[in-house]
């Protein structure tokens, strides 16, 4: 029989090999899935790859999709390291989009751009933060399981958005479509590379991941977060205010997800609608995990998964291959990663 | 409107509430057993989607809703084995693996369901009036003029309760979830027990999903389960891991679903977004309240819920 024997040291090499192999396994199973519906997986993947990395415009679209992923997973790295399961980035993102859109829709359009955008950034972050602090407080004071509370808040946020879009925030001239009125120029985030959709948000994302790297590796808060993640009881004995730390970390994580929502509506869509790609909230969980909660690795994973998302959208339009393929690849990669975790700490042996 | 008409509406409403509740009852019972054995499976939403899709597809092709139901049940079970393998054999993180299962179910059914979108089923399980029982005023028409699948869910609850509390099987599975090492010392095969009950949880999630598309919403749409899997996970806490209490939770949410549907059909002025939000909002409030009760009454979830077990390590 096979059995697992504990390793004395975690091999560094495996921390890179496992995520890479996991993604490849996801791609491989995805190919089988495509083959079953009678399409040539090679042409699908080739098209996906070219639409993600093939030329500067394709790559710029990948970076555009990587922006929200990076912003959200930066915050998730922090909370996941503490063992707090914030699955609510989806809802926090929506709340960020709603709060920031309020200024764009209801404030005078002639407010100077820097002021308008600042208000929207703050609004978006506050919106996401509120949606994250609710489950954090419920967890700290009443031990309400945050996986379930954050998930339910995702659905609630979606219906708040629908309520507004089919109700008072709907543009009267949108022929009944659930869209807000278009954002004025002052509420549109500047583009940093001409002829692309890469906005100032991309800079925010890079700053965010650097800030998270700094927090977890250079500050007392980051150190305490690590201890809490290892063992809550030890942390309490060490005199760490666990509850306070959890609420702060969730607030940061929610704020970054909210900012991602703001960046999407202000930088890319330019109005508020029901479909604002909130699924980035779920994909970011995968991105954070596949990076082993390491901010530097996370930068590259965001680009890879941004590419899969962006390329996936393109092939859905050009080749009519269902976007479900992206979920299949992502989930199988995640299964492989979690399943392979054991090889970090154990080695497989054969016993007769 | 006369009172006869009113009571007919109420009966129809509650009868639909039982049907909508059945969709939740199966997965909730399944997850109670899975969690009692120490495995947390957050993949219910994904397994329900897979069950809903295969149930729909097989019913459509064979024109037999019962074959479809069986297919849905089985496919949910098969999907759960991925989670079982990762969390039991490979001792992976159960939260992440469960989330992956949900994303997998959504991706899988979106991918293969593309061709089936907006197709409708022309067959459904027929209601059967149970002799005597259906003659009980009011309650009889609601509970005992249902289809075979609903009746089987009543039986399931009774059998589940009996197995869990009155048999060695139930004692063993609870022992595994409370203290796997002690259970192993008693001669219980921890791995096997956890595999069996994770698989059972998958079968039940598949059943809930299949019942949704076969009877309640006989068509196919992406993400047709619409978060019911998460509500089922919340109901496990609400039921405090007790199959009998799961009935109340499931039918409460069934009633909300049915009411929503009825109000929309009558053309209410309440915005549909608010109506559709209701189940999640109520679940949210209920989960907060039950967590407070669990905490103050010192009701313990299975002690080793989510903790991987390894025989080699002392």
- Total H helices, total E strands in chain A: 14, 2
Residues in A touching B272 (Cβ below 8 Å): 166
Nearest by CB to residue B111, choosing from A33, A142, A341, is: A33
A58 in contact with B at a CB cutoff of 8 Å? no
Helix (H) / strand (E) containing A348? strand A346-350
- Cβ contact B200:B156 at 8 Å: no
Residue A348 has what pLDDT? 75
Name the residue of chain B whose CA is nearest to A165's CA. B273
Selection from B72, B106, B107, B100 nearest residue B86 by Cα = B100
Hey, of A98, A339, A349, A350, which one would you mutate to test binding to chain B, going by the most B CBs within 10 A of its CB? A339
A339 and B273: CB-CB below 8 Å? no
Residues spanned by the domain of B127: 2-296
Nearest by CB to residue A143, choosing from B93, B107, B295, is: B295
Locus of tokens 């549909």: B272
Q: What is the pTM of this model?
A: 0.93
The answer to which of A254-258, A297-301, B257-261 has the lowest mean pLDDT is B257-261
- What CATH number corresponds to the domain at position B228? 1.10.3470
Locus of tokens 């027990």: B193
Q: What total number of domains does chain B contain? A: 1
User: Between β-strands A346-350 and B128-129, what pairing exists: parallel, antiparallel or unpaired?
Assistant: unpaired
3-state secondary structure B18-58: HHHHHHHHHHHHHHHHHHHCCCCCCCHHHHHHHHHHHHHHH
Interface of A with B in 174-193 (CB under 8 A): none
Residue B3 has what pLDDT? 59
Query: Is residue B309 situated within a structural domain?
Result: no
> Per-residue confidence of chain B (314 residues) as pLDDT tens digits?
455 567 788 888 898 999 999 999 999 999 999 999 999 999 999 999 999 999 999 999 999 999 999 999 999 999 999 999 999 999 999 999 999 999 999 999 999 998 898 888 888 888 888 888 888 887 888 888 889 999 999 999 999 999 999 999 999 999 999 988 888 888 999 999 999 999 999 999 999 999 999 998 889 999 999 999 999 999 998 898 999 999 999 999 999 988 888 888 888 888 888 988 999 999 999 999 988 887 777 777 788 887 888 776 54
- Cβ contact B147:B125 at 8 Å: yes
Q: What gap in Å lies between CA B293 and CA B1, rounded to an integer? A: 43
Query: Is residue B312 situated within a structural domain?
Result: no
Residues in A touching B93 (Cβ below 8 Å): 338, 341
Query: Is residue B308 situated within a structural domain?
Result: no
The whole-angstrom distance between residue B256's C-alpha and the CA centroid of its chain comes to 16
Read off the pLDDT of residues A112-158 as tens digits, 9 standing for 90 and up.
999 999 999 999 999 999 999 999 999 999 989 999 999 999 999 99
Nearest by CB to residue A159, choosing from B108, B276, B287, is: B276
Nearest by CB to residue B312, choosing from A4, A286, A339, is: A4
Whether the complex's predicted ipTM is more than 0.85 is answered with yes
Interface of A with B in 66-105 (CB under 8 A): 85, 87
A156 in contact with B at a CB cutoff of 8 Å? yes
Domain boundaries, chain A: 59-291
- Cβ contact B150:B170 at 8 Å: no
């Amino acid at each position: 029989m096979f059995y697992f024997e504990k390793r004395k040291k975690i091999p560094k090499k495996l921390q890179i090999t496992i995520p890479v192999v996991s993604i490849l396994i996801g791609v491989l199973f995805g190919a089988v899935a495509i083959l079953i519906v009678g399409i040539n997986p090679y042409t699908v993947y080739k098209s996906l790859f070219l639409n993600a990395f093939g030329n500067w415009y394709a790559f710029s679209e990948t970076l555009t999709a990587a922006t929200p992923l990076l912003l959200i997973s930066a915050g998730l790295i922090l909370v996941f390291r503490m063992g707090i399961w914030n699955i609510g980035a989806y809802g926090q993102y929506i709340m960020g989009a709603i709060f920031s859109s309020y200024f764009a829709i209801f404030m005078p359009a002639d407010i100077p751009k820097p002021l308008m955008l600042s208000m929207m950034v703050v609004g978006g972050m506050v919106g996401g933060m509120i949606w994250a602090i609710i489950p954090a407080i419920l967890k700290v004071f009443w031990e309400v399981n945050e996986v379930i509370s954050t998930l339910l808040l995702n659905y609630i946020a979606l219906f708040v958005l629908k309520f507004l879009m089919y109700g008072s925030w709907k543009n009267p001239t949108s022929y009944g479509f659930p869209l807000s009125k278009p954002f004025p120029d002052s509420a549109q985030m500047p583009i940093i590379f001409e002829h692309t959709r890469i906005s100032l948000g991309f800079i925010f994302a890079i700053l965010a991941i650097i800030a998270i790297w700094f927090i977890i590796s250079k500050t007392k808060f980051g150190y305490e977060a690590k201890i809490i993640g290892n063992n809550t009881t030890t942390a309490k004995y060490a005199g760490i205010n666990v509850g306070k730390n959890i609420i702060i970390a969730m607030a940061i994580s929610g704020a970054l997800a909210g900012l991602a929502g703001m960046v999407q509506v202000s930088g890319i869509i330019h109005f508020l609608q029901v479909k604002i790609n909130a699924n980035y909230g779920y994909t970011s969980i995968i991105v954070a995990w596949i990076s082993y909660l390491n901010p530097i690795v996370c930068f590259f994973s965001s680009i890879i998964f941004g590419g899969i998302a962006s390329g996936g959208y393109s092939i859905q339009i050009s080749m009519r291959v269902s976007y479900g393929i992206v979920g299949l690849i992502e989930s199988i990669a995640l299964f492989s990663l979690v399943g392979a975790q054991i090889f970090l700490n154990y080695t497989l042996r054969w016993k007769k | 409107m006369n009172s006869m008409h009113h009571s007919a509406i109420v009966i129809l409403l509650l009868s639909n509430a039982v049907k909508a509740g059945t969709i939740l009852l199966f997965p909730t019972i399944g997850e109670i057993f899975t969690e009692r054995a120490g495995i947390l499976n957050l993949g219910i939403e994904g397994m329900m989607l897979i069950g809903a899709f295969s149930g729909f597809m097989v019913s459509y092709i064979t024109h037999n809703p019962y074959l479809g139901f069986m297919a849905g049940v089985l496919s949910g079970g098969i999907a759960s084995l991925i989670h079982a393998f990762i969390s039991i054999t490979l001792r992976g993180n159960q939260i992440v693996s469960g989330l992956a299962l949900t994303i997998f179910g959504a991706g899988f059914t979106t991918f293969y369901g593309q061709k089936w979108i907006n197709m409708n089923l022309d067959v459904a399980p027929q209601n059967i009036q149970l002799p005597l029982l259906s003659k009980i005023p009011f309650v009889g028409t609601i509970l005992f003029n249902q289809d075979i699948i609903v009746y089987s869910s009543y039986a399931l609850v009774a059998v589940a309760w009996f197995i869990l509390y009155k048999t060695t099987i139930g004692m063993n599975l609870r022992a595994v979830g409370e203290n796997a090492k002690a259970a192993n010392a008693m001669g219980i095969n921890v791995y096997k027990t956890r595999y069996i009950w994770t698989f059972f949880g998958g079968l039940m999630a598949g059943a809930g999903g299949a019942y949704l598309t076969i009877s309640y919403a006989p068509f196919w749409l992406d993400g047709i389960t619409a978060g019911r899997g998460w509500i089922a996970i919340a109901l496990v806490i609400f039921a405090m891991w007790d199959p009998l209490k799961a009935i109340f939770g499931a039918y409460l949410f069934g009633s909300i679903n049915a009411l929503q549907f009825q109000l929309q059909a009558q053309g209410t002025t309440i915005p549909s977004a608010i109506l559709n939000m209701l189940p999640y909002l109520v679940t949210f409030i209920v989960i907060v309240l039950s967590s407070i009760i669990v905490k103050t009454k010192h009701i313990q979830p299975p002690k080793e819920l989510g903790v991987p077990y390894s025989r080699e390590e002392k």
